[in-house]
Structure 1
Amino acid sequence: MNKKIFSESENKKDNKRMKLIFKNGKSSLICNAFILSLFFCFQCGSFSRKTIPQIPLGDGSHWVLASFPESKLTEFRNLTNNKIQIRYREKGLSYVLIPKKDWDLSYKNIEWIRSEKQNLGFKYFAGNYQNQTNKELFQLTDTKLGYKDNNLNEYYLHSIAKRYPHLAELHSIGRSKENRSILALSLSNNRTTNTGKIPILFHCSIHANEVIATEHCYDIIYSILNSETSVKKYLDVFRIWVIPILNPDGSEIFWQSSHLTGRKNPDVDLNRNFPFQWGKSGGKYSSKNRESPYYIGMAEGSELETKALIALANKQRFAASISYHAYANSLLIPYSIESLINPEPDIASSIGKNMTAGIRSFHPEKEFVAKKNLYPVDGVDQDYLFFQHGTLAYVMESSHLNPEYHLTRTIMDSFRPVWTGLLDQLLDRKKIILKISDEKDSPTEAEISSDSIQFFQGEKRKSHPETGIFFQIWDENIIPNIRIEKKGYDTIVFPANPKQTFQPETIRLEKSKDLVEATNSEK
């Protein structure tokens, strides 16, 4: 396999274009100059796009998984000029991935090298997995050594929390169906005040067969913790929650049993199980068939992993989130359900389109775009978060499915502006931040509405019951009237003043006079 990134521009076609240009001698000078300028722009790369081939590890049409006795290791290295990596060692055997064309040409008839069945666990394909597990001293750069199963994920998250105690805190947000811990890392600068920091969520591998998704989560962790500038810029303002593997049971199946499975948990597609429009699309991508990879479960919100994320979201009330998947090369904007209409003004779409601007994807066929969905779905975490809490919830579909690991660095670099773009827009755009308290100055939950926002799905927006904080990115061209309502309290209506800063406007609710008088009369 040619591991180099290659260009899609075609020189032969360019030469034909040149001949056509000069053949038409009657064309005007201006026209010829225009066409020539287009040609030279094409030649200098303006219309070419560099790509990485779609060759997932384990793809039997491109790879042969083979093994040989470890006693033959020296002979194998001499035979291959030491160019083929040992992927895994087990029970006296070494496992290697050989490009299929090379296997057929050079290795197929060697007696001591045998081909293995292709549905083994991903640990046989990943490469460098055992080197990661054998390392004794942790460094943050270790997270860039290779793909991670759930065991490595646990080790890395524990190590990061231990190494950066003032920046990273480890949480178990729940247990999986097979009783594995679902781990999250919250990133915040604990040397600055944590009161009122805006919570953000990034989660990965809800479909655990998409292991490149986990790399996106670790890219966020590494990029922030490895940069003092990023720590100050983001962690002084945000509390960033990162869940690298939301589906640990699926990860175990994928790595240990078969790389052809792992999407589910193992029974249910977790990203069809959330309690919003559950099972209503009726399509094959949200299936009631238990054998389907898109099986929605017996009831909405039935799965422990789903419950864990819902409980975390209910507690944190995330302002924004990105769920990472592979490999449709797009950013999905809520609502992803076709029939649902977004609030107006559509801030989620506005921010999402800005997040994709200038993204340089290496997908061999498709440009990276922002869109509503890939196909009809329901019961997804993205739409649940957007409906329930107003979370600006996006799905980021990476460009490749589990390629050779060394290629992930280029892919991470290309998509890093998506998550940094989201955070930067939250920093830079005007917003309304309220801190609402009751008559005793205790934080309280209240319903927030505005005459400048129109909802179409019955959405309700509320302040956080524990902090009293309400956060909303605003269209800076609109000066809204804000309405605050809570049962038993006087309604407050006032013109809001969207600001770029994160200093909240304090609102104190007063008990309704009618309620106070009724209470006094009862006494």
Structure 2
Amino acid sequence: MFEYRTDKNTKSTRCSPHSFKGLCSTESIFVEEAKEQFCLDEVSEKRHGPSLSLGDEGRVFRLFRHGEEIEIPWFLDSNGEVDQKQTQAFIHKDLSLVLLQSAQERFPKDKDIKARLAQKGAMDPDTLFSNISTSCTKSPDDMLCVSGGGWVQRIYNEQDSHYRAFWLNRFFVDKGLVEQEDVLQCQQDCRCPSGSWNSWEVAQAYCRVQGKRLLTENEIWMMYAKKSSKIDIPKNRGFEWSVDEFISGGTAESVLWNPQGTCVEDCSEHTLVSINKIRQSSTGTSSFRCGTAELDSLRTKNEPKRLSQIPFMEPVTQKWKSSWVYKNPKSMRTVIDTKATYQYVSGHQLAKILWAYHEENQEHSAVFQLGRTHRDTPIFALRIGVETKEPKPSILIEGGHHGHELLSMLYALHSIDTLLEDMPKRMLERYDFWFVPAVNMDGLEVKLFRDSTRQYGRKNGKNTDGSCFQNTHEGVDINRNYPFHWGEYGERGSKSDPKSSYYRGESAASEPEVQSMMELASRLHFVAALSFQTPGSSILVPYTSSRTKNPQPYVAWDIAKSISQGVGTLPNDTMYRVRNRRFYAEGTFQDWLFHQFGTIAFIIEGTEHNPETTTKIRESVRATKKFLPLLMKELENRPVLRGVVQNERGDPVQASVSVRGYDLREGEVWKSRASDGFFFRVLLDHGSYEIIVHADGYETLHQDCVVGKDQPPCTLIVQSIF
């Protein structure tokens, strides 16, 4: 930056317009003698303008006028370049208003300087928060929303002190401190590590399981400043854990400026920042609460969450010698793209594949996380369909309810290609398609990377022996866990023994995978579903459970027979058999779907079970690729009663919608969707039908609707009884 010339005891340099701007005129030279600098006119050889003083801390130049420092010092390195780090450190000192204003001129975007100016009354605080999310939104009952903002804090020790400005967006915190019994339950469920219940490591893990995290020190401070009267404050437990590392250079803190709130009591009393100190402290004096920046991260329910970036899954690197990957490496997929292949995929690969499909079809697709498993593995879904304001029917295509049925997941992935490449584009405008290729992600991992013998991987990752080591025989058969005739047939349709491959679980819908699929179905009321399994070469029509009475007329059976004819002859010269009441199997997904929503739900049992060669895989997949187009052909060409249920104000109403002449024999109550009042029924014939509508708080409605090819949707308006 400077050009030097030396003359015995005097070192001078021509002033650069890019260094000390305005310090010396262009006809002047900058002179340094000992620890003093000044401008010297080259003609008259006299000083003029302000003088500078060289500091002791390296090459520091200070500008004075009448003894007052009027500009932020220039800290220069050995090359004469400005040392930004030293300059910023100086700004954090206790500075006068003049110096802060000088600093802002040099660093106009520095928010720390602006906050210090606001602290001194030289800037409006509201101008500082324009890019910060400060407003609160509705939070869960057990949490509080803490609005964002900023403040200036002084950090000091015996030798020095400095100032820092802090900035926080809105965040959410638990109202209460986490209780010991909650952590112990998490440890018993093998979701939290062993150790003292209120140790820092266990606290972090507990919050992570909830989809939250420990608060930062700044968040704890802001929480106390704004919400002290609404939260539990630790009395005899000393402090609250935070996630931060130690802030270097300070041993004590005080808040000087906080335009958002005032501490009810000392804000730093319950915070501890140093990780090293935390790990050395007695956990008997500690407590903690969890928080989050966004409510979407919460895992208190298995609700579908739309993802805004590619989902991350830790790849499995360890593989047992008994695993599928170890025994059949050539059968595994290696290239990740959007074209389905005839090789099996892991959960880690599946996440990337679904995201790749979304990126190629961003205008009419989205990736969702439906929930998380016992092992904290996400369950992914891909939705494909043009978003419209009008209500649309939804179709479900899923595989991998049994994680060891690797081929079933390929059936689902190839159905995506079939939809995007072979089917009319109008389908995306008329329907939403939901693909869940691997419902049982934990079972898939067992099959691929741990043990491929017997039926290991059929069940999920539920720990059933209390060891917190997942043995391959543990878990629940999630396709025996749905709440339809669950456990009604004793040991015939499912098993109560946790070691059995058909273990139905401790209670109906106890498993996170089942809860996730039920939550999705309850929101969307799928009109049709294909559940791929292996093997069997069969189309299983609900009800598959014995001792159940099928509705009359039996429309689902009629559709299945038509689809079987459309698939045609299989490579082994047979056809897909249409079957029901195949076995004493209660608690299955498709029976629950049919009973709950009237979903035309078929189990498609493929022709093979995990063939090892590409030829066999290709033959089996080609047959199943016909199912989705044939299903949609049936829905498009058959008589369909569709419409919405509304009240007199035009608001959607969830109500039971039944058709006179269609007899339901298992106590089914098929309702319209809660979100938009939409309903959809496939019938046998065109014509006029009497529709009966029941809804709580409304009069029972009897209305005739005409079902025909060109007939508009039927709008059913119910009258309030109040």
TM-score (normalised: structure 2): 0.52
Q: For the aligned residues, what is the CA RMSD?
A: 2.2
Would you say 1:159 and 2:340 are equivalent positions?
Answer: no
Helix, strand or coil: the match of 1:298?
Answer: coil
CA distance in 2, matches of 1:157, 1:481: 43
Would you say 1:251 and 2:444 are equivalent positions?
Answer: yes
- What residue number does 2:716 align with? 507
Report 1:38-187 matches (<5 A): 119-127=322-330, 129=332, 131-132=334-335, 138=337, 140-141=338-339, 143-144=340-341, 146-187=343-384
Call closer, same or farther: CA 1:205–1:445 in 2, change over 3 Å: same
Question: Structure 2 unaligned runs (5+)?
Answer: 1-316, 462-474
Helix, strand or coil: the match of 1:122?
Answer: helix
CA distance in 1, matches of 2:575, 2:586: 25
- What residue number does 2:405 align with? 210
Is residue 361–residue 411 contact of structure 1 (8 Å, CA) maintained in 2?
no
Call closer, same or farther: CA 1:315–1:383 in 2, change over 3 Å: same
CA distance in 2, matches of 1:314, 1:207: 22
Helix, strand or coil: the match of 2:425?
Answer: helix
Deviation at 1:284, TM superposition (A): 4.6
CA distance in 1, matches of 2:443, 2:648: 49
- What residue number does 2:649 align with? 440
Call closer, same or farther: CA 1:122–1:474 in 2, change over 3 Å: same
- What residue number does 1:233 align with? 426
Amino acid across the alignment from 1:384: W
- What residue number does 2:479 align with? 271
Alignment counterpart, residue 417 of structure 2, candidates 196, 219, 222: 222
Amino acid across the alignment from 1:206: H
Helix, strand or coil: the match of 2:324?
Answer: coil
Helix, strand or coil: the match of 1:234?
Answer: helix
Alpha-carbon deviations, 1:365-422, whole Å to 9, x = none? 8542100044220000011000011111110000001111333222222222222211
CA distance in 2, matches of 1:153, 1:398: 20
Is residue 433–residue 502 contact of structure 1 (8 Å, CA) maintained in 2?
no
Amino acid across the alignment from 1:412: V
- What residue number does 1:262 align with? 457
Deviation at 1:456, TM superposition (A): 1.0
Would you say 1:431 and 2:628 are equivalent positions?
Answer: no
Alignment counterpart, residue 307 of structure 1, candidates 515, 525, 549: 515
Would you say 1:338 and 2:531 are equivalent positions?
Answer: no
Amino acid across the alignment from 2:717: R
Would you say 1:420 and 2:629 are equivalent positions?
Answer: yes
Is residue 334–residue 386 contact of structure 1 (8 Å, CA) maintained in 2?
yes
Which protein has the larger Cα radius of gyration, Structure 1 or Structure 2?
2
Alpha-carbon deviations, 1:137-174, whole Å to 9, x = none? x3x22x21521111111110111112210122100011
Amino acid across the alignment from 2:412: C
Is residue 122–residue 258 contact of structure 1 (8 Å, CA) maintained in 2?
no
Amino acid across the alignment from 1:182: I
CA distance in 2, matches of 1:385, 1:164: 29
Alpha-carbon deviations, 1:43-68, whole Å to 9, x = none? xxxxxxxxxxxxxxxxxxxxxxxxxx
Is residue 326–residue 401 contact of structure 1 (8 Å, CA) maintained in 2?
yes
Alpha-carbon deviations, 1:54-105, whole Å to 9, x = none? xxxxxxxxxxxxxxxxxxxxxxxxxxxxxxxxxxxx99xxx9xxxxxxxxxx
- What residue number does 1:495 align with? 704
Would you say 1:199 and 2:397 are equivalent positions?
Answer: no
Alignment counterpart, residue 395 of structure 1, candidates 594, 603, 616: 603
Amino acid across the alignment from 2:367: L
Alpha-carbon deviations, 1:281-305, whole Å to 9, x = none? 2245511111111110011100000
Is residue 126–residue 147 contact of structure 1 (8 Å, CA) maintained in 2?
no
Is residue 537–residue 606 contact of structure 2 (8 Å, CA) maintained in 1?
yes
Call closer, same or farther: CA 1:429–1:362 in 2, change over 3 Å: closer
Deviation at 1:182, TM superposition (A): 0.3
- What residue number does 1:26 align with? none
Is residue 147–residue 405 contact of structure 1 (8 Å, CA) maintained in 2?
no
- What residue number does 1:484 align with? 693
Helix, strand or coil: the match of 1:331?
Answer: strand
CA distance in 1, matches of 2:627, 2:356: 27
Amino acid across the alignment from 1:234: M
Alpha-carbon deviations, 1:475-500, whole Å to 9, x = none? 21664211112233232212221133
Helix, strand or coil: the match of 2:363?
Answer: coil
Is residue 121–residue 259 contact of structure 1 (8 Å, CA) maintained in 2?
yes
CA distance in 1, matches of 2:710, 2:673: 19
Is residue 283–residue 376 contact of structure 1 (8 Å, CA) maintained in 2?
no
Would you say 1:380 and 2:557 are equivalent positions?
Answer: no
Amino acid across the alignment from 1:184: A
CA distance in 1, matches of 2:648, 2:568: 52
Alpha-carbon deviations, 1:18-57, whole Å to 9, x = none? xxxxxxxxxxxxxxxxxxxxxxxxxxxxxxxxxxxxxxxx
Is residue 449–residue 461 contact of structure 1 (8 Å, CA) maintained in 2?
yes
Pairs aligned (count): 390
Is residue 123–residue 129 contact of structure 1 (8 Å, CA) maintained in 2?
no
Identity value in percent: 24
Call closer, same or farther: CA 1:330–1:411 in 2, change over 3 Å: same
Is residue 528–residue 599 contact of structure 2 (8 Å, CA) maintained in 1?
yes
Is residue 361–residue 399 contact of structure 1 (8 Å, CA) maintained in 2?
no
Call closer, same or farther: CA 1:477–1:444 in 2, change over 3 Å: closer
Deviation at 1:219, TM superposition (A): 1.0
CA distance in 2, matches of 1:301, 1:343: 25
Call closer, same or farther: CA 1:498–1:383 in 2, change over 3 Å: same
Is residue 363–residue 400 contact of structure 1 (8 Å, CA) maintained in 2?
no
CA distance in 2, matches of 1:175, 1:197: 27
CA distance in 2, matches of 1:360, 1:127: 31
Call closer, same or farther: CA 1:285–1:342 in 2, change over 3 Å: closer
Amino acid across the alignment from 1:127: K
CA distance in 2, matches of 1:147, 1:454: 43
Is residue 173–residue 184 contact of structure 1 (8 Å, CA) maintained in 2?
yes
Would you say 1:359 and 2:567 are equivalent positions?
Answer: yes
CA distance in 2, matches of 1:488, 1:288: 42
CA distance in 1, matches of 2:619, 2:535: 15
- What residue number does 1:456 align with? 665
CA distance in 2, matches of 1:155, 1:457: 42
Helix, strand or coil: the match of 2:626?
Answer: helix
CA distance in 2, matches of 1:506, 1:126: 56
Amino acid across the alignment from 2:418: S
Deviation at 1:363, TM superposition (A): 6.1
Alpha-carbon deviations, 1:232-257, whole Å to 9, x = none? 13211110100000000011111110
Question: Structure 1 unaligned runs (5+)?
Answer: 1-89, 96-115, 516-523
